[in-house]
Amino acid sequence: MTTIFHLSDLHFGPKFNTHLSELVLADTRAAKPDLTILSGDFTMRGRVSEYEQAQAYVAQLPTPVLTIPGNHDQPLHLSGLAERLTNPWRRYKQYIRSEVDTSLEIPGVFVVGVNSNNRIVPGGIWSNKQRAFIEREFSRARADACKIFVTHHHLEWNGKYRPFGTWFPTGQLEWLERLGVELVLNGHTHVPLTLRTAQGIVIAQAGTSMSGRVRHGHGNAYNQITIQPRALTVRIMGYDAGSDRFVERSAQSFPRRVPTQISVPGAAA
């Protein structure tokens, strides 16, 4: 069994909750997950001071850690605007991870994560170059690996929460399904959510684990995911003020996809 902790939207800066961050850190270290994934928005405005705190926090998480940036990780303050336009991910690369598109393999699991943000228009966009990267990376996965895709913006967009998710999500989900993706992890909405799409892909959306910027009546939360040969399970762990700890709010299990031969145009045989 593989265990993954999925945290998102830490948002170091205003409204950051240090106490919650310590609880999450203690949970994560105690569980010793096989992998920790953070799906973007490490900072509030992309300030250096926020990045310094985020870097120190991420360094305490059990490894391996996979990260992708969020829209709030580009400078969004007066003195950082020029950098946002010319080199928006310099600080992310300096403090969090040297690349914005990434992949990682552990036994039984292959993860690809991409930067879905844009410096000007709302994010939820992948370039042709990124699509080639996603295809190429997943083509390296073993046939029996659980393929996980990580992006900051949400793909299942029912209009209920916020409009700014991934552009043309149905086509993207169909494409990911053809690549053999079983599980998509995202953040951005600050709303914890688990569902299975019409394409058969499980979506695990993490809430904000330690920011006061909670939305739509949802509290702070993170996800615990377990992957077994025949099932994957997503547990939403929400903060309970009464007991002052994160407790299980929901647990949903889904049967694994039967491995199929994936053919990717242009990929090496």
Residue numbers at the binding site for Fe ion (CB under 5 A): 9, 41, 70-71, 188
Shortest CB 10 distance to Fe ion, Å: 9
- The smaller minimum CB distance to Fe ion, of residues 180 and 207, is found at 207
With b for 16 or more beta-carbon neighbours within 10 A and e for fewer, the 152-164 pattern comes to bbbbbbeeebeeb
- The smaller minimum CB distance to Fe ion, of residues 34 and 73, is found at 73
Shortest CB 155 distance to Fe ion, Å: 14
Shortest CB 265 distance to Fe ion, Å: 32
Tell me how far the alpha carbon of residue 225 is from its chain's centroid: 12
List of E strands, 2-140: 2-7, 35-39, 65-68, 102-106, 109-113
- Residue that is written with structure tokens 């046939």 in the block: 143
Pairing mode, if any, of strands 193-196 and 202-205? antiparallel
What span, in angstroms and rounded, lies between the C-alpha atoms of 42 and 136? Answer: 27
- The smaller minimum CB distance to Fe ion, of residues 70 and 124, is found at 70
- Cis status of the peptide bond prior to 69, with omega within 30 of 0: no
- The smaller minimum CB distance to Fe ion, of residues 41 and 137, is found at 41
What span, in angstroms and rounded, lies between the C-alpha atoms of 188 and 169? Answer: 15
CA dihedral over 219, 16, 22, 66, signed as positive or negative: positive
Shortest CB 41 distance to Fe ion, Å: 4
- Residue that is written with structure tokens 């966009």 in the block: 125
Shortest CB 221 distance to Fe ion, Å: 13
- The smaller minimum CB distance to Fe ion, of residues 172 and 211, is found at 211
